[in-house]
């Protein structure tokens, strides 16, 4: 009976060790939010969906926490600290898989997030006949050499191609090429390293969607100008607990019970901000079973949510918070709450609304068993 030959084992390197300063983001661009995901996560998900493993991601020194958050749950993802140049980062990533060497490897720039399965298939097919393959696109604009601000002679676009990633190679061949690299340390891509080692590099059709995110405009154009999120939270009232609401401690016979300080107002607000940027909820960032958050001030949760919003390219526009309870009376504490929340949010006081209502003695809040809060947050693109 016919049995198809097993497919060669394919691994991948994602180059994510740069600083991405031209992109104008508060973090390196590979860890910035783009179309609902962190940039590097787009490529990692595409490679994992194609059955490629391991996926070794070269990251900047000190970038472990950002990378771990970005790649959480990606099957086969590993991290390695990159070098001072792209070539050095790739070599380190290739060396990291040498003990369990794959047959083939794809080397991809994290800043090209829209990687399609079709491009991967074309590259792997080309490796059946060549030691290397790269995706390319034709040049459609006229080209000319430049002499300062003066036009030089025209260039022949018919023989030029725009080079993209991922670039695909037989693993042993490209590892040897990187180990032997003697050129300038500014090799622009791995095809250059391969050619220097005498390897033939085939050209396959690229994809216009594999555009490289480079400048601030690449992110600004993608961001909706306004994002809105909602949050809702409940905590029960209990004897022997402090009562914190909206970042303010209130004297009351009973307080709110919870793993942290149980500030139900701030918890609802945190969920509203996280919801606006599609970043889950408070429990996914601060698990209630984690002992480090036992008794923690909810101020920390709110400043973290504001930081995540900033990293996603947003600032707080305004927030509207409603506290639902029979007691204590919120009115005497409203302005203190507004001031404290404005400080934590980095917003003007006028952008912070705190309201209160009762349920006319209906339900658990009406019976004085607990306090609820709901919040709406509006975020504006920077």
Which residues span the domain enclosing 64? 10-220
DSSP string, 214-259: -SHHHHHTTS-SEEEEEEEEEEEEEET--EEETTEEE--SEEE-SS
Helix 39-49 vs helix 117-126: crossing angle, to nearest 10:
60
232 within domain boundaries: yes
Q: Are residues 193 and 258 in the same domain?
A: no
Give me the phi and psi of 379, to 5 degrees please: -110, 140
Q: Are residues 96 and 18 in the same domain?
A: yes
Instruction: Tell me: pLDDT of 6 over 60.
Output: no
Final residue of a structural domain among 220, 236, 267: 220
DSSP string, 305-348: HHHHHHHTTEEEEEEEEEEE-SSS-SGGGHHHHHHHHHHHHT--
Q: Are residues 280 and 175 in the same domain?
A: no
Instruction: Tell me: pLDDT of 363 over 90.
Output: yes
Final residue of a structural domain among 197, 220, 243: 220
Q: Which residues contact 155 (CB under 8 A, 6 or more apart)?
A: 143, 144, 145
Q: Nearest 5°: CA angle at 213, between 197 and 314?
A: 150
- In whole angstroms, give the CA distance from residue 269 to residue 305: 9
Please give the residue that has the higher pLDDT: either 147 or 307. Answer: 307
Q: Are residues 164 and 245 in the same domain?
A: no
8-36 tens-digit pLDDT:
899 999 999 876 555 455 577 888 888 77
Instruction: Provide the whole-model pTM.
Output: 0.59
Q: Are residues 241 and 331 in the same domain?
A: yes
Give me the phi and psi of 143, to 5 degrees please: -125, 145
Q: Which residue has the tokens 């404290």?
A: 340
Among 303-317, 318-332, 358-372, the range scoring the smallest mean pLDDT is 303-317
Task: Say how many C-beta atoms besides its own lie within 10 A of residue 19's C-beta.
Answer: 12
Instruction: Tell me: pLDDT of 382 over 80.
Output: no
Residue 20's pLDDT is: 56
194-243 tens-digit pLDDT:
999 999 999 999 999 898 988 776 766 566 789 999 999 999 999 989 99
DSSP string, 21-77: GGGT-SS-GGGSEETTEEHHHHHHHHHHHTT---EEEEE-TT-HHHHHHHHTT-TTE
- In whole angstroms, give the CA distance from residue 252 to residue 332: 13
Final residue of a structural domain among 170, 203, 220: 220
Total structural domains in the chain?
Answer: 2
pLDDT band at 258 (very low <50, low <70, confident <90, very high): confident
Mean pLDDT, rounded, for 47-75: 92
Residue 223's pLDDT is: 67
What distance lies between CA 58 and its chain's CA centroid?
15
Query: Tell me, what CATH number does 282's domain have?
Result: 3.30.1330.50
Query: Tell me, what CATH number does 131's domain have?
Result: 3.90.550.10
Give me the phi and psi of 23, to 5 degrees please: -75, -10
Residue 2's pLDDT is: 43
Residue 350's pLDDT is: 96
312-328 tens-digit pLDDT:
778 999 999 999 999 99
Mean per-residue pLDDT over the chain, rounded: 89
Give me the phi and psi of 146, to 5 degrees please: -120, 140
3 within domain boundaries: no
2 within domain boundaries: no
Instruction: Tell me: pLDDT of 96 over 90.
Output: yes
Instruction: Tell me: pLDDT of 86 over 70.
Output: yes
5 within domain boundaries: no
- In whole angstroms, give the CA distance from residue 140 to residue 143: 9
């Amino acid at each position: 009976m016919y049995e198809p030959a097993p497919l060669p084992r394919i691994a991948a390197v994602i180059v994510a060790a740069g600083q991405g300063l031209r992109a104008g983001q508060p973090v390196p661009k590979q860890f910035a939010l783009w179309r609902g995901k962190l940039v590097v996560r787009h490529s990692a998900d595409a490679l994992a969906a194609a059955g490629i493993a391991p996926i070794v991601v070269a990251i900047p020194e000190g970038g472990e926490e950002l990378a771990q958050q970005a790649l959480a749950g990606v099957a086969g993802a590993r991290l390695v600290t990159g070098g001072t140049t792209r070539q050095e980062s790739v070599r380190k990533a290739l060396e990291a898989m040498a003990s369990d060497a794959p047959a083939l490897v794809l080397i991809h720039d994290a800043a090209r997030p829209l990687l399609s399965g079709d491009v991967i298939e074309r590259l792997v097919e080309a490796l059946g006949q060549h030691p290397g393959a790269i995706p390319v696109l034709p040049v459609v604009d006229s080209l000319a050499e430049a002499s300062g601000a003066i036009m030089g002679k025209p260039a022949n676009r018919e023989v030029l191609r725009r080079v993209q990633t991922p670039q695909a190679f037989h693993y042993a061949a490209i590892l040897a090429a990187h180990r032997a690299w003697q050129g300038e340390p500014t090799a622009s891509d791995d095809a250059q390293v391969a050619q220097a080692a005498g390897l033939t590099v085939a050209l396959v059709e690229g994809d216009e969607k594999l555009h490289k995110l480079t400048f601030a405009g690449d992110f600004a154009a993608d961001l909706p100008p306004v994002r809105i999120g909602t949050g809702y939270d409940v905590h029960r009232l209990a004897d022997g607990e402090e009562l914190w609401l909206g970042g303010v401690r209130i004297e009351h016979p009973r307080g709110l019970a919870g793993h942290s300080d149980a500030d139900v107002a701030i918890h609802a607000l945190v969920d509203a901000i996280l919801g606006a940027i599609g970043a889950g909820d408070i429990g996914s960032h601060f698990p209630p079973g984690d002992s480090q958050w036992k008794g923690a001030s909810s101020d920390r949760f709110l400043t973290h949510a504001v930081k995540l919003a900033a990293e996603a390219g947003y600032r707080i526009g305004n927030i509207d918070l409603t506290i639902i309870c029979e007691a204590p009376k919120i009115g005497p504490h409203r302005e203190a709450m507004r001031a404290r929340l404005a400080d934590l949010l980095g917003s003007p006081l006028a952008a912070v609304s705190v309201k209160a209502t009762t349920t006319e003695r209906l339900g658990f809040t009406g019976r004085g068993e607990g306090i609820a809060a709901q919040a709406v947050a509006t975020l504006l693109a920077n």
